[in-house]
Amino acid sequence: MLDLAAGSGLVALAAARAGAAPVTPTETDPLAAAAIALNSAANDARLAAALGDVLDDGAPAADVVLAGDVFYERALARRLLGFLGRARAAGAQVLVGDPGRAYLPRDRFDQVATYQVPVPRALEDTDLKQTTVWQLR
């Protein structure tokens, strides 16, 4: 399982605790990689973040690729879609969590589930943000 743009590692930790193995969180931000290490230790998991930009690489060696809230910028969305497409073509299941960002090409995805997620008012304009899980066709 590959957790793309893992941030704090929450998704990777949940996957590992649910029994996925191996689980690789990827990040370009060294501070996020440090957060993944701290969260991994605090949750009795053995995760090591892959630090670096993987988007121009070939298809990952993963059965499942997860990405959360990554389609917030046009140029990044293009690169993400290329990487996710290579992963899907290689046989990976690709799931994306998205809170309604403008650059997610919804016509390339099937909706899997929708959730109302509590969010801080300081970051969003509401107390609940509708977030959808999408699967790349």
Secondary structure (H, E, C), 23-81:
CEEEECCHHHHHHHHHHHHHCCCCCCCEECCCCCCCCCCCCEEEEECCCCCHHHHHHHH
Q: Is the dihedral of CA 123, 84, 80, 16 positive or negative?
A: positive
pLDDT, position 125: 86
Q: Mapping DSSP to helix (H, G, I), strand (E, B) and coil, where does residue 83 land? A: helix
Its pTM stands at 0.93
In tens, the pLDDT along 69-117 reads: 999 999 999 999 999 999 999 999 999 999 999 999 999 999 999 999 9
Please give the domain boundaries of the chain with CATH numbers for all domains. 2-136 (3.40.50.150)
Lowest mean pLDDT among 28-37, 72-81, 118-127: 118-127
Give the C-alpha separation, 64 to 78, whole Å. 20
- Which pLDDT belongs to residue 15? 94
